[in-house]
Amino acid sequence: MFGLFRRRKTKDDLKQRLKLVLSYDRARLSPGKMEQLKRELLAVVQKYFPSEGEDLNVRFEQHADRMVLIADLPRQQPR
């Protein structure tokens, strides 16, 4: 019952923020540059798939001891 009203643990926020900021730090890339990379990638994708690309998601992920740059583009189902 009391669990319903328990506030969010602040350390969980901190952990998420640290993971994000460290992924940029480790890649030596600022969040602004990341936005730029995303825009340029989108421009290239749209050259080949003119109607797509709005859902492009670009991010870093930690895979074991490697940092991986993920560009994730869900394709529209071709009919």
Partner 1 sequence: MNAKAIVVTSGKGGVGKTTATANVGAALAKQGERVCVIDTDVGLRNLDVVMGLEGRVVFDLIDVFEGRCKLRQALIRDKRVETLYLLAASQTKDKSALSESRMQDTVRALLDGENFDRVLVDSPAGIEAGFRTAAAAVQGALVVVNPEVSSVRDADRIIGLLEAREITEVRLIINRLRPSMVKRGDMLEVDDVLEILGVKLIGIVPEDERVLVSTNVGSPLALDDGGPRTTAGSAFRDIARRIGGEDVAYPDLDTSKGVLAGLRRLFGGR
Looking at 8-16, 29-37, 39-47, 53-61, which segment touches partner 1 (CB under 8 A)?
A: 8-16
| C-alpha angle 16-24-32 in degrees, rounded to nearest 5 | 110
77, β-bridge pairs: none
For position 70 contacting partner 1 by CB under 8 A, the verdict is no
Out of 10, 51, 76, 77, point to the residue binding partner 1 (CB under 8 A): 10
At its nearest, how many Å lie between partner 1 and the CB of residue 6?
9
For position 14 contacting partner 1 by CB under 8 A, the verdict is yes
Q: Indicate the helix (H) or strand (E) that contains 13.
A: helix 10-27
